Chains A and B, each alone.
Chain A
Amino acid sequence: MRIAVVVLCVLCVPTPRVVRAQSITAEAAVTGGLSTDEVSAAAVQLRAFGDVTHEIRFFGEAAWAGRSLSEDDHESDSFNAAYPYTNRVQIVEAYGERIFRPHAGLIGVRAGRFRTPFGIYNASDHAYSGFLRAPLVRYEEYSPLSNTFLEHGADLVVGIPSLTVEAALAAPADIGEVARGSGVDAVIRVQGYVGPFIAGVSHMRTPNSQLALDASGRTTVTGIDLRWMHGGVQLRGEWVTGQPSGAATTTGWYGDALIHRAFMGPVTAVVRIERLDWTDAHSAEEEYLSRQTVGARIRLTNTVVLQVNALHETGDDEYLPRALDVAVTWTVRKP
């Protein structure tokens, strides 16, 4: 194929200052993964996003995902970071959004179906935390958080870029194996940054998960997160505490380093330690789960990303103590 471009030299067009509204973009991502945890997984995500007008945007995502365990009663949280493994197509997010910029201020209004804006699990860091197993998330009765928590409702952000308050009032609309009961939930998050530091505090009050020992009650969970970044090194820490099922209390934390220095080229490395402690309301016995992870995300080409995680877990005999997870994602985007 011969490709030609033509230049016409005439007097016009000064400096190419560029600000323009974006047209609709469609994106497809296909992921396949294998784990020595005797798990294989595959997922397809279709997204469409763009500007309805220059001020109003939309975002929609549908996903299909399936996961195969070696045995039906085998427990594993491998590849649980993002997808609802229901083996059918589901709408993940579908919302419209408008952002106002009065003077130095910032006001954002979002309505529709969106991820729960708690901590750094929400979409603001969702891709970044996608090192195959999200920290602090377990799909168990003691876990107050899930990566597949979704809301039907409205979300408001008010502030200035360096300090914002975000509040969501919605009804749970979760997908996947952990679904909260019906009702109204509220999430509030305050986030600020100074120089390389970003700090946030989140609080959520929501109906209990149906996995909870008391599925009719309410979950309250509070979290504090702190991030620091310089020269391609990001340090993150997050602490959460909550009552996922009445008298039971779960407290967890993690710290990690995400490293992407110039000499590393297409490789981003992660090192993470995390721990969850909880009390069972019935036995009043303290239990814990601890995990250490070393991994990397490698951009093989502009469209193919490889993720590798090696991890060690203790505290819950249902999980294998060591595992190696590998996943490849191919993404194509059509503007």
Chain B
Amino acid sequence: MRDAPARDTVVWLDAPNAPAAGHPPARVVLDQRNLTFIPHVLVVRVGTTVDFPNNDRVFHNVFSFRDGKRFDLGMYPVGALRHVVFDQPGLSRIFCNIHPHMAAYVMAVDSPYFARADESGAFTIAAVPAGTYTYHAWRPGATAELTGTWTSTAGPLQVTWP
């Protein structure tokens, strides 16, 4: 059977000696629009502030109780903004308690080298120094992360889900 691209796959490389995050810490947006979180999957570096603006006409109540960063932003209306600092690595499952069909994922990784696959399954990680890395991959629906070793001189990394 022909391979199918895995959009929204998150890949990151272990980089314990990578430079620290800049100051002020990065801010990223997880939008709420048309009863949907946009994007569906977000990957950020540990310490990043994620803004949750409400750009709908209806109230939303963003929360994450299951794992990763646990929070409940309460209800807030259109035009209002709440934010969360993802200060620990791990996967957070984001929901709206008013609209059960809204769901998103935030993966916080302790590395500056990460990316999310586009619809074709391809992604790009910026400014990776030459070397050998342990890589991790996760995607929605996966029961566990994939891990492996990748060397920059070996060409592009291909991750295959079992």
Q: Known contacts A157-B57, A161-B77, A260-B97: does B126 contact A6 (CB below 8 Å)?
A: no
B4 neighbours in A (Cβ, 8 Å)? 1-3
In Å, the complex CA distance between A18 and B100 comes to 23
Of A2, A11, A14, A49, the residue contacting B35 (CB under 8 A) is A49
Checking A7, A229, A234, A335 against B124 with a beta-carbon cut-off of 8 angstroms, the contacting residue is A7
Contact, CB under 8 Å: B61 / A97: no
User: What's the least CB distance linking B41 to chain A, in Å?
Assistant: 10
Complex contacts, A234 vs chain B, CB 8 Å: 61, 75
Q: Which residues of A contact B26 (CB under 8 A)?
A: 15
Interface residue ranges of B65-117 to A (CB < 8 Å): 65-66, 70, 72, 74-80, 97-101, 103, 115-117
On whether the beta carbons of B99 and A20 are closer than 8 Å, the reply is: no
**Could you tell me if A101 and B5 are in contact, using CB atoms closer than 8 angstroms?**
no
- Cβ of B134 within 8 Å of any chain A Cβ, yes or no, is no
> Closest chain B residue to A108 by CB distance?
B57
Q: A19 to B29, Cβ gap below 8 A?
A: yes
Inter-subunit contact A4/B159 (CB<8 Å): yes
Number of A positions contacting B (CB below 8 A): 68
Q: A127 near B100 (CB under 8 angstroms)?
A: yes
Give bound CA distance, A246 to B103, whole Å. 47
| Residue on B nearest A120 in the bound complex, by CB | B59
In whole Å, how far is B111's beta carbon from the nearest beta carbon of chain A?
A: 13
Chain A, Cβ-Cβ closest to B55: A99
B101 and A9 form a contact (CB under 8 A):
no
Across-interface contacts of B29 in A (CB, < 8 A):
17-19
Given contacts A18-B42, A106-B79, contact A124 B59 (CB under 8 A): yes
**A97, B56: Cα distance in complex, Å:** 10
Tell me if B36 and A25 are in contact (CB < 8 A). yes
Q: Is the CB of A106 within 8 A of B78?
A: yes
Whether A128 touches B115, Cβ cut-off 8 Å, given contacts A4-B159, A19-B31, A123-B58, is: no
Nearest chain B CB to A105's CB is how many angstroms away?
8
The answer to the question of B15 belonging to the interface, with a C-beta cut-off of 8 Å to chain A, is: no
Residue-wise, chain A 3-33 has the 8 Å CB interface mask toward B (1 for contact) of 1111111111111111110100101000000
Total chain B interface residues with beta-carbon distance under 8 A? 65
Query: Which chain A residues lie closer than 8 Å to B156 at the CB level?
Result: 6-9
* Residue among A123, A128, A303 with max Cβ neighbours from chain B (10 Å): A128
A5 touches B58 (CB 8 A): no
CB-CB under 8 A from B128, the residues of chain A are 9
A90 on the interface (CB 8 Å rule)? no
* In the complex, B152 has a CB within 8 A of chain A: yes
Distance between B16 CB and nearest chain A CB, rounded to angstroms: 18
Chain B residues in 8 Å Cβ range of A3: 3-6, 121, 160-161
A14 near B101: Cβ-Cβ < 8 Å: no
Complex CA distance for A303 and B140, rounded to whole angstroms? 14
A125 to B59, CA, bound (A): 7
- Pick the residue among B38, B75, B124 that contacts A10 (CB under 8 A): B124
Interface string of A46-74 (1 = CB under 8 A from B): 00011100000101000000000000000
- Among A51, A128, A157, A232, the residue within 8 A (CB) of B34 is A51
- The CA-CA distance from A6 to B157 in the complex, in Å, is 6
Q: Which residue of B lies closest to A19 (CB)?
A: B29
A/B interface sample: 29 pairs, CB < 8 A: A1-B3, A2-B161, A3-B3, A3-B5, A3-B121, A3-B160, A4-B3, A5-B6, A5-B121, A6-B156, A7-B156, A7-B159, A12-B124, A13-B115, A16-B44, A16-B116, A18-B30, A25-B35, A25-B36, A110-B57, A123-B58, A127-B98, A161-B78, A193-B76, A198-B75, A232-B63, A234-B75, A262-B65, A265-B65
Apart from A18-B42, A59-B34, A232-B63, list 5 A-B contacts with CB within 8 A: A13-B124, A13-B126, A198-B59, A232-B65, A232-B72
